[in-house]
Structure 1
Amino acid sequence: VFRIKFMRDLRLMVKGLIAGVRTLALAFVLLFAVLYVISGFAAMTIGNSEEVAKIGLDGFFYNIPASMYTAFRCFTGECTTNDGAPIHSLLADVFGLPFIACYVVSYMLVTMGIFNLILAVYVDITMKAAKENDAVTAEQYSRESIRIARTTRELLKKFSSAYHVFHEMEDSVKHSNTIDWMKASVFTEEGMDKIAITKELFLLIIQDRVVQKLMDDLDLPPDRANLFEIIDADGSGTLQITELLHGLLKIRGEINKSDAVATLLATRSVQTLITEMKADTNRKLDTLRSELVEQLTRLRKSSINRTLASSKVEEEKQKPPAPAVLELRLPCKPSACEEDPRIPVWPASPTSRMND
């Protein structure tokens, strides 16, 4: 029962109680000695008083055991008579200030001194037991970690050996559906990173009794036929040794709250990543859309300009040629032709030459 997790506090208290038995026994001896001295003094003084007998309190102090019981009751809060009257108040009325002073001193000594001392020592013993328990727990955890590491190593060696045997004697293994573990045991851990275990080989390996015992030692779930699909998270159809190792160590043991929280946090992280990718993709799409619209606008403008230019060229080609205009000019005198060289010069006559 004490090995259950929620019984850890009870186990710690029981262990602290057992560890503090000797201290508690010594504390009880000290308390008994103090009460014996106080009760002896009370029995000799209060028990022999006639005034105490008149008020009916002689039965509480007639001997040392009765005085010790009465003193213990007064120190623990039950200082009353059978009728419910407070004993210390009645005695204070009878004996006055001396009784009050002695009662206060003895009460402070026992209640504030011895009781608190016992409590402090007991708490100290319990804390020491808790520290020792933590040390033992850490040692047990270390031993458990070593045991798990060794068991996992043996299990991985079984998978590695079966992989080599299966590929060397594939035909015989398929027909017999068994693996010769005597031959498989000669293989070592070399080349484990190149091993890829298929589902058929996995189901064949877990049928072995030694493998089943190793899985039981690792506290793996009993539904082991479906472990391949659980461990093969990427859906590749094969298991690498590292993938198999991490999967087995994650599956072993009971389901804790941290497993569910880790899954929830991972899911939220993926959702956040997808949301960011979606926003980034939308921004890029908007940018590409705007650039595409600009390119289309430019292409349309250039296409329109080219169409207009080609239409103008076609119109120019289709127009008939303009008729040539013949410009006739009369011959002029040389003095007038100097102004316009295009006008032909009138030849001079002999008479004009003579006049000149």
Structure 2
Amino acid sequence: VICLNAIFIGLSMDHSASSGEEWSPWLVADAVFLVTFFSEVTVKLRWHGFRGFFCGSQWFSNSFDATLILIDLVQLIVEVFFVSTARNLDALPSASLFRCVRVLKLGRMLRILQADVFKDLVDMLMGIIGGLGTLGWALVLYILVVYVFSLVFRELLGRHEYENIKEYFDSVPRAMFTTFRCSFGDCASITGIPIFEQVTVNYGAPYSMLYFLFMFAVTVGLFNVISAIFVESTMAAANATAAEKKRARLADEQLLFIQITKLIERILEKSPSHHITPPFSEALDMIYQTEVDRDVIDEVVLTDKIAIQALNELDILPQDRARLSDIFDPDNGGTIQVADIAAGIRRLRGDPRRSDIVCVDLMIRAMQPVLAEIMSDVKSMAIGMHVPMKAMWTPPEMQP
């Protein structure tokens, strides 16, 4: 409906003004869209309440929708019940502003950007927004370069009465505008004669060298540098936005619990050894201690569609899924507790971090004194039993 309304706005601007009918098809279609959007807002108000609608988490978008509907309503009332007034307004210059307000209704298009299909488009827009600061400074730098060269052109080319030259450099603002045009390749007079061709004829080739240096510095140097920095800042902003969304997703405990619950339910339903019947929420203690065969886990995570979707939502990489049972079974016992599955899934989420390596290193360091103490006790026992240490570590079949 939002897309149809956007298309309708464009078509109606060309046809509705020329129809001249009191109830033209364009006016009827506008009324239909108004009723549709008004009904949507009414349902939301009834569902969330006035305070929840205007003060809730989506207060901005709801207020924006209500404002657009109010604009639609006022415009429709003027066009239907005050026909003569609307026609008189069309003759005034302010009527263009009144009609341009209709363009604001295209703001409804922002709502459809929340759909997953527009994810790449949203990322591009966020990247561009993030690069606006760089673009602003690039504009300042460009204006500074144009200003400096325009002062030079004003002083050198704006003092003598040469046709197709002086009128384009007779003042600093005019010289800046001409320099701006030339930087983008439009360096011709109103009659189509290249300005710096006239400069070469009237001032000589050395003056054209200044134009050559200006064009080379701007097009090859300045524009390429600005483009590179803008692209870099845009990509950095897009990556920062994506990283922030991923952090928020990883911090979403509700998403984690829901998807782990789905995965465990599929594993328990596929396991022939468990005797727990749904609803599983009534048997959490029993489920916590339940052990599942590794083969069942491998089958579920690789073939079950619901489990695969849950792992996708949890950002578990596909290349890790074939080894999930091995990861969750560090003692190679052949069975895995459901609690270990939940804990392992939580730790597998996200990118590898330096803290993971440091954590393992500290655990190994903590184990070293314990192992050294055990080794010392074993040595003491061997000495007490008068058994050589080498014999204790030699398999029986290899002993003499």
Does TM, scored on the shorter chain, surpass 0.5?
A: no
| TM superposition score normalised by structure 1 | 0.45
- Higher helix fraction (1 or 2): 2
Larger radius of gyration: 1
| TM superposition score normalised by structure 2 | 0.40
